[in-house]
Structure 1
Amino acid sequence: MNFNLNFIIRVYYEKPRSNIGWKGFVYDPYLDNSYCIIDGIYMIRKLLIDLIKKKLFLATECLNFYFLNFFIDCISWVCIGARTMNSQLHREFCSNIKNIIGIKNDVSSDLKLLNDFKISLINKHCFLSFNNFKIIFSKGNKNYQFVLRGGNKPNYNFTNIKNINSSIVVDCSHSNSFKIPINQIFVFENVYNQFKYYKNKIKK
């Protein structure tokens, strides 16, 4: 099977926390609890520009859209994580940008919620600006992919994939690999073989 393989570099400058802990480079770039956020913003933007000059495509996760506004012009692929995919604010924000949005299934692995996010994403919204006091009328964003990352169990099986009428990204890590790195190879090979042997039954 012939295909093109393009690499997108994951540059996650902030980290989702279930409770407390280090929230990422942009918050505390010196790792000393000094929280020099302004320095973090400048340093992250410089890093992104340096990577772009090397002709690399970049991906990040949208946790805090205030931060993403500083970097959005450098990012090709924006991930909506399992803990934020139900957030109305994230749906509104993403409907107003042109970047490709990777929508992860939530931690329960309910694939119906992916479609709920998609419907909201591709439609117009009216909301208050995050940076200053003005009203934004978004046009909707049709650039999206569903990201299967597993939940209470893996969800990259053929039954799930063939029934999704959308571009798909399979996360070989997280719950699909039971968070065991060596299992990522098995997941990749399994998905590759699905597309190799059943490509006529997979919609996209």
Structure 2
Amino acid sequence: MSDAVLPGPEELRHAVPLPAATAGRIAAQRAEIAAVLDGVDDRLLVIAGPCSAHDPLATVDYARALAALAHAFDGELCVVLRAYLEKPRTRLGWPGLLLDPGLDDWCAGPAERITRPVADVRAGLPVGRRLLVELAELGLPLAYEFVEPMLAPYVADLVSWAAIGARTVESPTHRRLASALPMPVGCKNRADGDVRAAVDAVTVAGAGHSVVGVDAKGRAAVRRTGGNPYAHVVLRGGSPGTNYDAGSVAEALRLLESAGLPPRVVVDASHGNSGKDHTRQPGVAAALAAQVAGGQRGIVGVMLESFIHGGCQPPGADLAYGVSVTDACLGLDDTATVLAGLAEAVSARRGASELAVTR
């Protein structure tokens, strides 16, 4: 076996800098998302993008198209680009651009995996950071799932909304990480559908902790956090079934209120709520839009897995351009239709509120 020493976060930030103007915009976008979560901004948060960003060129092309859609619906929707460079795996599989930028380590056999060099992360860090900087400069806020807590300092300055996934939502390390992150964090329900674990994660993330990680130089360090006031639950369905229906949303909001937490949820139209069938995402989104139009303010956001073209393909040689290599995604045309429906729902909710005020 061999070891590879990683550069410190400060060294990487120096090599791949974030322009000051873009850093200022990211700070403003974090505040904007927080305002949506608080209900001060009555728009709907929509987090859309590929399951995993495996191809920087295609991801940038997708981001440009999504930015145009976001501009068209800016009055009703706060659109965030899903820019995930790490992938949690239930079994073996590609771990994401940050850890395996060549998309080759995932298919190595057990013996080869032990003996091959460990330079992939050293290569992936600058590749991934350069991609995030380029995406951030296009103007959309970025969403990111933090899988390897020790890698968070290398990219966190570029992220406006973060996720703690279904497989890590009960991890004390990830809950403490969420308390330290400087942006709103969505905590997904467990893969078996358990929502209480996500509610507990929000409670823990909201408290202060001593968090072990790396400092700017890459040295092991510990720091005290003040807690994250914008942690919230993400409903993503699970092995028993979906949880995007009105009853499931109401129950999740009740659990949050019982725990003394703000009653707000983001609902993922993919994963367990679509059975990982991308063609079902529009139907899930339409059901959520109906709840929003009917006045449900506890739904503060919707997640979509979306890329240039619909479907998915296995990682490997001769990849089709703009097609996901992990979960199947909606194509851009279907994404535009879904966004239009969600925007209409927000307009309807506003109209109902204005009518109630005038009575």
2:248 maps to a residue whose letter is: N
Instruction: Give the match's secondary structure for 1:7.
Output: strand
Instruction: Considering fraction of residues, name the structure with more helix.
Output: 2
Q: What is the distance in 2 between the residues matched to 1:134 and 1:38? A: 21
Cα distance change, pair 193–203 in 1 and its aligned pair in 2 (3 A): closer
Report what 1:58 is aligned to: 142
SS class of match (1:56):
coil
- For 2:211 and 2:144, how far apart are their aligned partners in 1? 23
Q: Which of residues 175, 186, 190 is equivalent to 1:106?
A: 190
1:146 equivalent to 2:246? Answer no
Task: Name which of structure 1's ranges 82-91 and 143-152 shifts more when overlaid on structure 2.
Answer: 143-152
Of 240, 263, 267, which aligns to 1:170?
A: 267
In the aligned structure 2, how far is the partner of 1:8 from the partner of 1:134?
Answer: 31
Distance in 2 (CA, whole Å) between partners of 1:28 and 1:42 is 12
Alignment of 1:55-134 (within 5 A): 55-131=139-215, 132-134=219-221
| 2-structure distance, mates of 1:166, 1:99 | 19
Which amino acid in the other structure matches residue 49 of structure 1? V
Any stretches of 5+ residues in structure 2 without a counterpart?
1-41, 44-75, 106-116, 254-261, 301-359
Deviation at 1:145, TM superposition (A): 2.4
Counterpart of 2:93, as a letter, is G
C-alpha distance 46-127 of structure 1, shift in aligned 2 (>3 A): closer
The answer for the alignment partner of 2:65 in structure 1 is: none
- Aligned residue for 2:173, secondary structure, equals helix
When residues 19 and 178 of structure 1 are mapped into structure 2, their CA distance, relative to the original with a 3 A threshold, is closer
Distance 1:143 1:158, change over 3 A: same
Q: Displacement, 1:162?
A: 2.6
Contact 2:180/2:211, CA 8 A, preserved across alignment: no
C-alpha offsets along residues 72-122 of structure 1, whole Å, 9 cap, x if unaligned?
A: 000011111000000000111111122110110001212222221111111
1:7 aligns with 2:79: yes
Output one character per residue of 1:10-33: Cα deviation in whole Å (capped at 9) or x when no partner.
111121112223211112212344
Query: Aligned equivalents of 2:97 and 2:211: distance in 1?
Result: 29
1:6 aligned counterpart, secondary structure? strand
| Deviations, residues 28-47 of structure 1 (Å, cap 9, x unaligned) | 21234464221210011111
How many residues were matched structurally?
Answer: 202
Aligned to 1:24: 96
Q: What amino acid sits opposite 2:236 in the alignment?
A: R
Confirm or deny: 8 A CA contact 1:144 1:167 kept in the other structure. no
Q: TM-score, normalised by structure 1?
A: 0.90
CA contact (8 A) 1:149 1:176 kept: yes
